Amino acid sequence: MGAALAYGLQRRGLSTLMLDEGDIAFRAARGNFGLVWVQNKGTDFPPYAQWTWTSAQSWSELDAEMQEITGEDIGYRRPGGVEICLDAEEFASTRAAMQRLQAHAPHVEYEMLDRKALSQVLPGLGPDVAGGCYSPADGHVNPLGLLRSLHQCFKSKGGRIENGERVIAVQRRGSAFSVDTANTRHHGARLVLAAGLGTAELAAMIGLKIPLRPERGQVLVTERLRPFLSLPVSMVRQTTEGSVQLGASKENVGFDEGTQAPVMNRIAARAVRVFPHLARARIVRAWGALRIMTPDTYPIYTQSQQHPGAFAAACHSGVTLAAAHALHLAPAIGDGVLPEALGPMHPERFEHA
């Protein structure tokens, strides 16, 4: 999220410095599953559904722009995506959720496919699969490739990155802001806090209350396999290199990034129920990473009323929303405002909850 906003500000011609804590940080980016996902996003919160759609529609523009600058393919593809349902109850709840989403976001196309129809799209399904929801709006990308390309594009436009810089203080000094690290003090006319789970602590220094909590997700990665998955599934994604990512766990364990065998077993077991041939695949990597979660799971965007020019942003969908952050939110921040469409995502919504 920080890299997308930094690139968006720099591409607008603003001199931008990005301070990066380094590999000691709780980096959501290194654990991301890589989905650019629309279905089931904002089912009961129309502003988020529209923001997600805006980003998904802008992703091709961002991808083309980054490829032109870096010459690299980050694996962005939009073949559609599928939410798998393993029983009739999951099928019915998914259908109901998509009906609620389409009630306020009619542009989000989807189709509920029974097992027979889904087998035509995804060969090799296991006998437990009841069906699924297909949406042509969904896609996926290499998340580490995205992060690297955002950094390269940012620097190509003249942006500066300082790594290993843990921020310890943020203050308003006259008409500018000062940001202190252990070794340096930096100054700027505007300040953007997009530090993942660290955003809450930093935002409090400028009078902003950003309620956040960590949620751990674990991911398994197989050896490279022959291509069998032409589009991403919500918990199974084959990369362009052939390896397969397995995921979709949610744990409230504080700031523990570790892995646990029972959770990994459940992830693997569900994946094998969907695609039985994965039982023969070797797992080569596994990791845990922390999502950035707000109380209602939707993003937070705000500007400090006490210190205008200071912005804070937090969300758990940094990959899906990367295009919106770089191409839409960053230019607005450059103008000193937030897009009107993001008004409902102000943290004040939690004060009366």
Whole-model pTM: value is 0.96
* Residues 6 or more apart whose Cβ sits within 8 Å of residue 189: 175, 176, 177, 309
Please check whether residue 2 is in contact with residue 292, taking contact to mean a CB–CB distance below 8 angstroms. Answer: no
Report pLDDT for 353: 56
Per-residue pLDDT reduced to its tens digit, 90-123 = 999 999 999 999 999 999 999 999 999 999 999 9
Per-residue pLDDT reduced to its tens digit, 155-181 = 999 999 998 888 999 999 888 999 999
Judged by average pLDDT, the poorest of 22-36, 149-163, 224-238, 337-351 is 22-36
Report pLDDT for 174: 87
Residues in the chain: 353
Alpha-carbon distance of 134 to 82, in angstroms, equals: 5
Straight-line distance from the first to the last Cα atom of the chain, in angstroms, rounded to the nearest whole number: 26
- What domains can you pick out in the chain, each with its CATH number? 2-69+143-208+306-342 (3.50.50.60), 81-136 (no CATH), 213-293 (3.30.9.10)
Q: Where are the alpha helices (DSSP H) in 172-329?
A: 199-204, 261-274, 322-324
Q: Answer whether residue 6 shows pLDDT above 90.
A: yes
Per-residue pLDDT reduced to its tens digit, 12-64 = 999 999 999 877 777 777 778 899 999 999 999 999 999 999 999 999 999 99
Q: Answer whether residue 82 shows pLDDT above 60.
A: yes
